[in-house]
Structure 1
Amino acid sequence: MKVSRYSDTKTIQDVNGVFRRDVLTADDGVTVVCMQVIEISSQSSTPSHYHPWEHELFIISGKGLAVGNEGSIPIDQGTIVFIPANEPHCFVNTGNDTLRFICIEPLKKE
Protein backbone atom coordinates (compact mmCIF):
# COMPACT_ATOMS: atom_id res chain seq x y z
CA MET A 1 0.00 0.00 0.00
CA LYS A 2 1.14 3.52 -0.72
CA VAL A 3 -0.36 6.52 1.04
CA SER A 4 0.79 10.00 0.07
CA ARG A 5 -0.32 13.58 -0.45
CA TYR A 6 -0.65 14.86 -3.99
CA SER A 7 0.93 18.15 -2.92
CA ASP A 8 4.17 16.26 -2.20
CA THR A 9 4.41 15.22 -5.88
CA LYS A 10 6.47 17.33 -8.29
CA THR A 11 4.45 19.73 -10.46
CA ILE A 12 5.12 19.58 -14.21
CA GLN A 13 3.97 22.39 -16.51
CA ASP A 14 2.44 20.85 -19.64
CA VAL A 15 1.49 24.06 -21.45
CA ASN A 16 0.94 27.64 -20.34
CA GLY A 17 -1.51 27.57 -17.42
CA VAL A 18 -1.80 23.75 -17.31
CA PHE A 19 0.04 21.74 -14.67
CA ARG A 20 0.24 18.00 -13.95
CA ARG A 21 1.24 15.89 -10.97
CA ASP A 22 1.89 12.20 -11.70
CA VAL A 23 0.67 10.90 -8.34
CA LEU A 24 0.63 7.14 -9.12
CA THR A 25 3.03 5.66 -11.67
CA ALA A 26 4.94 2.44 -12.34
CA ASP A 27 7.51 3.72 -9.83
CA ASP A 28 4.80 3.30 -7.18
CA GLY A 29 4.10 -0.29 -8.22
CA VAL A 30 0.91 0.24 -10.21
CA THR A 31 0.55 -2.21 -13.09
CA VAL A 32 -2.69 -1.32 -14.90
CA VAL A 33 -3.58 2.37 -14.60
CA CYS A 34 -1.81 5.56 -13.56
CA MET A 35 -3.25 8.61 -11.81
CA GLN A 36 -2.57 12.27 -12.41
CA VAL A 37 -3.89 15.44 -10.84
CA ILE A 38 -4.33 18.12 -13.50
CA GLU A 39 -4.59 21.80 -12.57
CA ILE A 40 -5.74 24.40 -15.09
CA SER A 41 -5.31 28.05 -14.15
CA SER A 42 -8.18 30.53 -14.47
CA GLN A 43 -9.03 31.36 -18.10
CA SER A 44 -6.56 28.73 -19.40
CA SER A 45 -7.19 25.50 -21.30
CA THR A 46 -5.58 22.33 -22.50
CA PRO A 47 -4.96 22.12 -26.24
CA SER A 48 -7.40 20.00 -28.20
CA HIS A 49 -5.91 16.53 -28.54
CA TYR A 50 -6.73 12.83 -28.75
CA HIS A 51 -5.01 9.53 -28.06
CA PRO A 52 -5.69 5.84 -28.69
CA TRP A 53 -6.76 5.07 -25.11
CA GLU A 54 -9.78 5.94 -23.01
CA HIS A 55 -9.48 7.85 -19.78
CA GLU A 56 -11.64 8.97 -16.91
CA LEU A 57 -11.75 12.18 -14.90
CA PHE A 58 -13.17 13.26 -11.57
CA ILE A 59 -13.46 17.02 -11.03
CA ILE A 60 -12.15 17.97 -7.58
CA SER A 61 -12.70 21.74 -7.71
CA GLY A 62 -13.28 24.69 -9.99
CA LYS A 63 -15.52 24.98 -13.00
CA GLY A 64 -15.09 24.86 -16.72
CA LEU A 65 -16.01 23.12 -19.94
CA ALA A 66 -15.27 19.65 -21.26
CA VAL A 67 -15.14 20.06 -25.04
CA GLY A 68 -15.52 16.96 -27.21
CA ASN A 69 -17.73 15.32 -29.83
CA GLU A 70 -20.82 16.22 -27.77
CA GLY A 71 -19.92 19.93 -27.81
CA SER A 72 -19.04 22.05 -24.76
CA ILE A 73 -20.38 20.57 -21.54
CA PRO A 74 -20.16 22.44 -18.20
CA ILE A 75 -18.13 20.69 -15.49
CA ASP A 76 -17.58 21.47 -11.81
CA GLN A 77 -16.86 19.80 -8.48
CA GLY A 78 -18.15 16.23 -8.42
CA THR A 79 -18.48 15.84 -12.21
CA ILE A 80 -17.29 12.57 -13.75
CA VAL A 81 -16.06 12.55 -17.37
CA PHE A 82 -15.41 9.52 -19.59
CA ILE A 83 -13.41 10.13 -22.77
CA PRO A 84 -13.42 7.27 -25.30
CA ALA A 85 -10.28 6.38 -27.24
CA ASN A 86 -9.54 8.67 -30.21
CA GLU A 87 -12.11 11.33 -29.28
CA PRO A 88 -10.73 14.87 -29.70
CA HIS A 89 -11.13 16.78 -26.43
CA CYS A 90 -9.93 19.68 -24.34
CA PHE A 91 -10.75 21.33 -21.03
CA VAL A 92 -11.34 25.03 -20.47
CA ASN A 93 -11.28 26.74 -17.08
CA THR A 94 -14.11 29.29 -17.16
CA GLY A 95 -13.89 30.22 -13.49
CA ASN A 96 -11.76 32.44 -11.30
CA ASP A 97 -10.25 29.53 -9.34
CA THR A 98 -8.05 26.64 -10.45
CA LEU A 99 -9.87 23.81 -12.24
CA ARG A 100 -8.47 20.66 -10.61
CA PHE A 101 -9.25 17.07 -11.56
CA ILE A 102 -8.05 13.50 -11.20
CA CYS A 103 -7.19 11.74 -14.45
CA ILE A 104 -7.02 7.93 -14.66
CA GLU A 105 -5.50 6.40 -17.78
CA PRO A 106 -3.72 3.19 -18.78
CA LEU A 107 -0.20 2.77 -17.52
CA LYS A 108 0.79 1.17 -20.82
CA LYS A 109 -0.52 3.39 -23.59
CA GLU A 110 -0.77 1.15 -26.63
Structure 2
Amino acid sequence: MYLHKEINSIEATPQKAGKGVSMKMLLSPEESPNFAMRNFIIEAGGHMPLHTNIIEHEQYVLSGRALVQIGDETFEAKAGDILLIPASLPHSYKTLGDEAYSFLCLVPNSEDCIVLIK
Protein backbone atom coordinates (compact mmCIF):
# COMPACT_ATOMS: atom_id res chain seq x y z
CA MET A 1 0.00 0.00 0.00
CA TYR A 2 1.24 3.48 -0.78
CA LEU A 3 0.02 6.96 0.08
CA HIS A 4 0.28 10.27 -1.75
CA LYS A 5 -0.69 13.66 -0.31
CA GLU A 6 -0.12 17.34 -1.03
CA ILE A 7 1.39 19.15 1.97
CA ASN A 8 -0.72 22.26 1.23
CA SER A 9 -3.91 20.19 1.62
CA ILE A 10 -3.05 19.30 5.24
CA GLU A 11 -4.41 21.63 7.90
CA ALA A 12 -1.99 23.02 10.49
CA THR A 13 -3.09 22.53 14.08
CA PRO A 14 -2.09 25.21 16.61
CA GLN A 15 -0.05 23.78 19.50
CA LYS A 16 -0.76 24.78 23.09
CA ALA A 17 2.86 24.98 24.24
CA GLY A 18 4.91 27.98 23.19
CA LYS A 19 3.98 30.90 20.98
CA GLY A 20 3.17 30.80 17.25
CA VAL A 21 3.63 27.01 16.99
CA SER A 22 1.55 24.82 14.69
CA MET A 23 1.89 21.27 13.39
CA LYS A 24 0.81 19.41 10.26
CA MET A 25 0.50 15.62 10.64
CA LEU A 26 1.95 14.47 7.31
CA LEU A 27 1.93 10.74 8.04
CA SER A 28 0.05 9.62 11.13
CA PRO A 29 0.76 6.45 13.12
CA GLU A 30 -2.39 5.01 11.54
CA GLU A 31 -1.03 5.63 8.03
CA SER A 32 2.58 4.55 8.50
CA PRO A 33 3.65 1.36 10.31
CA ASN A 34 6.90 2.55 11.91
CA PHE A 35 7.21 6.36 11.99
CA ALA A 36 5.00 9.43 12.11
CA MET A 37 6.06 12.40 9.97
CA ARG A 38 5.11 15.88 11.12
CA ASN A 39 5.82 19.41 9.92
CA PHE A 40 6.23 21.94 12.72
CA ILE A 41 6.04 25.64 11.91
CA ILE A 42 7.11 28.27 14.44
CA GLU A 43 6.17 31.75 13.26
CA ALA A 44 8.68 34.61 13.35
CA GLY A 45 8.92 35.82 16.95
CA GLY A 46 7.65 32.48 18.21
CA HIS A 47 9.12 29.79 20.40
CA MET A 48 8.62 26.26 21.70
CA PRO A 49 9.52 25.94 25.40
CA LEU A 50 12.11 23.63 26.91
CA HIS A 51 10.60 20.14 27.12
CA THR A 52 11.37 16.45 26.99
CA ASN A 53 9.84 13.55 25.07
CA ILE A 54 10.32 9.88 25.88
CA ILE A 55 10.86 9.11 22.18
CA GLU A 56 13.66 10.27 19.89
CA HIS A 57 13.16 12.89 17.15
CA GLU A 58 14.78 13.08 13.73
CA GLN A 59 14.43 16.54 12.18
CA TYR A 60 15.19 18.22 8.87
CA VAL A 61 14.94 22.03 8.75
CA LEU A 62 12.96 23.24 5.72
CA SER A 63 13.14 27.01 6.20
CA GLY A 64 14.01 29.79 8.59
CA ARG A 65 16.44 29.95 11.48
CA ALA A 66 16.08 29.22 15.17
CA LEU A 67 18.12 29.19 18.32
CA VAL A 68 17.85 25.53 19.35
CA GLN A 69 18.77 24.17 22.74
CA ILE A 70 19.40 20.42 23.06
CA GLY A 71 20.59 19.38 26.48
CA ASP A 72 23.29 21.82 27.60
CA GLU A 73 24.13 23.02 24.08
CA THR A 74 22.56 25.93 22.19
CA PHE A 75 23.17 26.60 18.49
CA GLU A 76 21.61 28.24 15.44
CA ALA A 77 19.76 25.80 13.18
CA LYS A 78 18.87 26.79 9.60
CA ALA A 79 17.37 25.40 6.41
CA GLY A 80 19.20 22.23 5.34
CA ASP A 81 20.30 21.23 8.86
CA ILE A 82 19.61 17.76 10.26
CA LEU A 83 19.05 17.23 13.99
CA LEU A 84 18.83 14.09 16.10
CA ILE A 85 17.27 14.63 19.51
CA PRO A 86 17.70 11.54 21.71
CA ALA A 87 14.81 10.39 23.90
CA SER A 88 14.38 12.30 27.18
CA LEU A 89 16.89 15.07 26.30
CA PRO A 90 15.47 18.57 26.99
CA HIS A 91 15.12 20.77 23.90
CA SER A 92 13.61 24.11 22.86
CA TYR A 93 13.34 26.44 19.85
CA LYS A 94 13.26 30.23 19.45
CA THR A 95 12.95 31.73 15.98
CA LEU A 96 15.55 34.14 14.63
CA GLY A 97 14.88 36.77 11.98
CA ASP A 98 11.60 37.52 10.24
CA GLU A 99 10.92 34.12 8.64
CA ALA A 100 9.03 31.18 10.13
CA TYR A 101 11.12 28.21 11.25
CA SER A 102 9.74 25.07 9.62
CA PHE A 103 11.01 21.53 10.05
CA LEU A 104 10.08 17.94 9.34
CA CYS A 105 10.01 15.83 12.49
CA LEU A 106 9.96 12.04 12.35
CA VAL A 107 9.21 10.04 15.47
CA PRO A 108 8.74 6.33 16.14
CA ASN A 109 5.17 5.09 16.37
CA SER A 110 5.22 4.47 20.09
CA GLU A 111 3.70 6.16 23.08
CA ASP A 112 5.17 9.54 23.93
CA CYS A 113 5.06 11.64 27.06
CA ILE A 114 5.88 15.34 26.78
CA VAL A 115 7.03 17.16 29.90
CA LEU A 116 7.41 20.95 29.92
CA ILE A 117 10.40 22.13 31.96
CA LYS A 118 9.80 25.30 33.96
Q: Distance in 1 between matches of 2:81 and 2:12?
A: 23
Count of matched residue positions in the alignment of Structure 1 and Structure 2 = 109
Residue 13 of structure 1 aligns with an amino acid whose one-letter code is P
Task: Say if 1:61 and 1:77, in contact at 8 Å, map to a contact too.
Answer: yes
Aligned twin of 1:9 = 10
For normalisation by structure 2, the TM-score amounts to 0.86
Higher share in strand: 2
Structure 2 residue runs without a partner (length 5+): 113-118
Aligned twin of 2:115 = none
Aligned twin of 1:78 = 80
Q: Would you say 1:45 and 2:47 are equivalent positions?
A: yes
Aligned twin of 2:60 = 58
Q: Distance in 1 between matches of 2:95 and 2:70?
A: 15
Following superposition, which runs of at least 4 residues in structure 1 exceed 6 angstroms of deviation?
A: none
For normalisation by structure 1, the TM-score amounts to 0.92
Structure 1 residue runs without a partner (length 5+): none
Post-superposition offset of 1:34: 0.2
Post-superposition offset of 1:49: 0.5
Aligned match of 2:28 in 16, 25, 29? 25
RMSD, aligned α-carbons: 1.2
Q: Distance in 1 between matches of 2:51 and 2:82?
A: 19
